[in-house]
Structure 1
Amino acid sequence: MKELIIPEAAQRDESSVEMIHVWIAERGLHASLKVGLYEDRPDIREERAWGRILADVAQHVADALVTSEGMDRDVVVEAIKAAFNEELQAPSSGRSGGFVVRH
C-alpha cells in the first residue's frame, strides 16, 4: 500500500482530527470517513461542513496542480467544479467500493 504523509500541522496539533482517507483499490473508490464530528453542535450542519471540506480539498488539488504542473488555477478550479457536478448528476460508472464510518 502506498500511503501519503501526514501534514506537519496535523502532527503538531494535538487536537487535529483526520476526516477522510480515500483509496483506489480493487478498481473502486474506498473511503474511511469521520462523520458525526458536529453532532454536538446544532449550529453546524454536517452536510454543509462536508461541502466546505470537499471545497477545501478541491482548492488544495488546484494548488497542487498549479505548483507541480504549472496549470492555471482558475481553469483547474472550474474543471474540478464541472467534473464534480457532472459526476453527481450522471455518474460515469457504477459506484463500487465502500466506506467505513468512524465516530
Structure 2
Amino acid sequence: MKSHITELKQQVHALLREIERIEAKELEEKESFPLAELKERVTQYVKENDITIDTFCDLAMISKTTLYAAFNSPSSTKCSTIESIIAVFGNYTLYVGRTDAR
C-alpha cells in the first residue's frame, strides 16, 4: 500500500512540474514583461514605429514628465499611467504577480 502512495505522489509531482512548464511557456507567448523594462519597451516601440517620444506621449495622453517619472520609478507609478502607456502598444493588460524569489 505504501509503495502505491509513493508512486501516486511521484505522478502528482511530475504533473505539477509539467503544469508549471506549460504556464511558463504561455507567459512567454503572451509577451509579458516586468515594469522594470518599461523604458526599454517604450524606446523599442518608438523606434519600430518611427515616432517621437512626444508623439508617444500624445498617444498615451500623458506628459513627457509623467513618462520619464514612470521610467525612473515604474513601481511607484499610478496604475492608470501604466495602463495609458501600455495601451499604446496594443492589446496589453496590466497584471500583478509575485516576483521570482529564486
TM-score (norm 1): 0.28
Higher share in strand: 1
Higher share in helix: 2
TM-score (norm 2): 0.28
